[in-house]
């Protein structure tokens, strides 16, 4: 029993997981889609600044939620305690089925694309599936080895991203960028395209809450969870703004519009063809870290659901070393199916929409938490109540325009959410434990 309860995740490891979850598919692919509706460099960079502010506000709030409810599961746990078990279950269902599985699939698909740019004879689909299976196998054996692999992969990722940014500043023939606040940039910032593009940016920033899914396995969750969320999100925000500046600074906009492999295109202009090929492999390696981080975090949600509900009890099983083996295999199987069957941009949109719904509810839950006056909570949200209000308003604005402009993807996302509620009420004995562990400080009357 001691083996199972042993905690391995330190502040550094938690921060590494946050950074690795965030830096991945979104930042190396979404610029091409943003340029379909926006053309001003200022409006593009403002997208990433606004997205970063939203993520930082969310991280500040999640720090308090996690300190008050230090148990693995993230939104699944928070929403179950703050609203109703069915809401938490629906959130966990989305996270378990597409919330992590789809980003793993998208990252693997992007890795396949970048790798095939270098070696056209490689089959993108088979390579993507192969990478998912190998990383899944690593995390199925032992938590400490998996965390060690994650720490190394994330450190390499940050160093390589910084190297790419620095090299970009030394390009011989940079693009002329106009960051003047003019009528064009103002119109774009207030346009539907800007709001819809925020869903791509939100996807790129998704993962700012990653360490919240692993609270139960952290050495000192009340102290390290808020710090890991803030430090990880702050580092990534700075890197994202610089990366997108370099993409625009080094490559002509017409070459980037609608393209998935914007990093490779930018590398072609920074380096010669050989250098671009090397960067193609480098970016592929960066995505390995992202896939690894999501295969660590995602199954912990499914595991928590399996422990709390009879209908999904098979997902709650762990090995003697505490690995949620069944949940890991379940998530990776869905990822492989999505790789073989789904369209990149459509998956990105409906996943971003459905996940934003539950982060919206979680952040709103801070008002419920404060109303209960948890005096034993050691961490308070900086800037409350303005911090959660900023997050909620910007998310609501984005969700409205996505629903308006992307109805098919929106309905698909809502359909997955609805399926979660149906499964909850089909639970044979209507069981939902949502039990509080010994370190959970939230009042029991929140369950009423």
In a domain, 72, yes or no: yes
Is 423 within a domain? yes
Distance CA 73, CA 401 (A): 29
Burial tier of 121 (Cβ tally within 10 Å: 0-12, 13-18, 19+):
exposed
CB 29 within 8 A of CB 265: no
Q: Which of 14, 370, 441 is nearest to 227 (CA)?
A: 14
Query: Crossing angle of helices 344-371/41-68, nearest 10°?
Result: 50
| Per-residue model confidence (pLDDT) at position 435 | 44
DSSP 3-state of 356: helix
Measured CA to CA, the distance from residue 134 to residue 293 in angstroms comes to 14
For residue 447, is it within any domain?
no
For 134, the 3-state DSSP assignment is: helix
Among residues 25, 64, 12, 10, the alpha carbon closest in space to that of 351 is found at 25
Torsion angle, alpha carbons of 98, 156, 263, 333, to 10: -20
**CB 70: neighbour CB atoms within 10 A?**
22
Q: Which residue segment(s) compose the domain that 54 sits in?
A: 2-431
Q: What is the pLDDT of residue 200?
A: 78
d(CA 54, CA 198): 10
Task: Encode burial over 313-343: b for 16+ CB neighbours within 10 A, e otherwise.
Answer: eebbeeeeebbbbbbbebbbebbbebbeebe
Angle ∠(187,190,191) on CA atoms, nearest 5: 80
Number of domains the chain is built from? 1
Q: What pLDDT, on the 0 to 100 scale, is given for residue 448?
A: 31
Give the pair of three-digit tokens for residue 441: 């400080």
pLDDT value at position 5?
42
Q: Give the separation between CA 377 and CA 48, rounded to whole angstroms.
A: 32
What is the per-residue pLDDT for 133?
93
| pLDDT the model gives residue 3 | 37
Is residue 448 assigned to a domain?
no
Selection from 352, 416, 335 nearest residue 110 by Cα: 335
In a domain, 34, yes or no: yes
Given this model, what pLDDT does residue 223 score? 77
Whether 441 is in a domain gets the answer no
Residue 444 inside a domain? The answer is no
- The secondary structure of residue 258, as a DSSP letter, is T
pLDDT-flagged residues of the chain (< 50): 1-5, 375, 430, 434-448
User: Does some domain include residue 365?
Assistant: yes
Q: Which residues pair with 9 in a beta bridge?
A: 218
* Count of C-beta atoms within a 10 Å radius of residue 398: 25
Q: How far apart are CA 284 and CA 298, in angstroms?
A: 21
Q: Which residues pair with 218 in a beta bridge?
A: 9
Q: SS3 of 126, please?
A: helix
pLDDT tens for 348-402 read: 777 778 888 888 999 999 999 888 775 456 678 888 899 999 999 988 988 888 8
Say which CATH number the domain at 367 has.
1.20.1740.10
pLDDT of residue 240: 92
- Looking at residue 367, its pLDDT comes to 93
Q: Are 213 and 73 in contact (CB under 8 A)?
A: yes
**pLDDT at residue number 274:** 79
């Amino acid at each position: 029993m001691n083996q199972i309860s042993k905690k391995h995740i330190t502040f550094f490891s938690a921060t590494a997981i946050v950074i690795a979850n965030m830096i991945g598919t979104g930042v190396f692919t979404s610029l091409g889609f943003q340029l379909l509706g926006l053309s001003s460099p200022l409006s593009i960079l403002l997208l990433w600044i606004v997205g970063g502010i939203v993520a930082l506000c969310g991280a500040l709030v999640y720090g308090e939620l996690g300190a008050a409810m230090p148990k693995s599961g993230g939104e699944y746990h928070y929403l179950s305690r703050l609203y109703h078990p069915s809401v938490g279950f629906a959130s966990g269902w989305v996270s378990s089925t597409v919330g992590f599985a789809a980003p793993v699939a998208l990252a693997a698909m992007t890795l396949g694309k970048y790798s095939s740019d270098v070696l056209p004879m490689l089959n993108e689909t088979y390579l993507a599936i192969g990478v998912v299976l190998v990383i899944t196998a690593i995390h199925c054996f032992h938590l400490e080895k998996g965390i060690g692999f994650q720490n190394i992969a994330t450190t390499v990722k940050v160093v390589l991203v910084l190297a790419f940014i620095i090299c970009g500043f030394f390009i011989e023939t940079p693009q002329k960028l106009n960051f003047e606040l003019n009528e064009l940039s103002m119109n774009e910032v207030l346009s539907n395209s800007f709001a819809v593009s925020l869903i791509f940016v939100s996807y790129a920033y998704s993962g700012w809450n990653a360490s919240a899914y692993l609270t139960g396995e952290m050495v000192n969750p009340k102290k390290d969870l808020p710090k890991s969320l803030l430090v990880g999100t702050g580092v990534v925000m700075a890197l994202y703004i610089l990366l997108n500046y370099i993409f625009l600074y080094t490559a002509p906009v017409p070459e980037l519009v609608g393209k998935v492999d914007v990093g490779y295109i930018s590398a072609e202009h920074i380096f010669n063809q050989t250098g671009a090929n090397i960067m193609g492999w480098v970016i592929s390696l960066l995505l390995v870290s992202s896939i690894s981080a999501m295969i660590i975090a995602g199954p912990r949600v499914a595991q928590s659901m399996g422990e709390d509900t009879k209908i999904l009890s098979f997902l709650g099983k762990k090995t003697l070393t505490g690995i949620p083996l069944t949940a890991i295999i379940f998530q990776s199987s869905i990822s492989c199916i999505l790789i073989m069957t789904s369209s990149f941009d459509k998956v990105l949109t409906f996943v971003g929409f459905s996940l934003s719904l539950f982060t919206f509810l979680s952040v709103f839950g801070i008002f419920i938490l404060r109303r209960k006056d948890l005096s034993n909570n050691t961490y308070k949200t900086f800037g409350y109540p303005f911090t959660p209000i900023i997050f909620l308003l910007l998310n609501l604005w984005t969700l409205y325009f996505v629903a308006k402009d992307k109805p098919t993807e929106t309905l698909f996302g809502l359909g997955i959410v609805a399926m979660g509620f149906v499964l909850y009420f089909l639970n044979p004995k209507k069981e939902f434990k949502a039990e509080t562990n010994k370190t959970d400080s939230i009042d029991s009357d929140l369950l009423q």
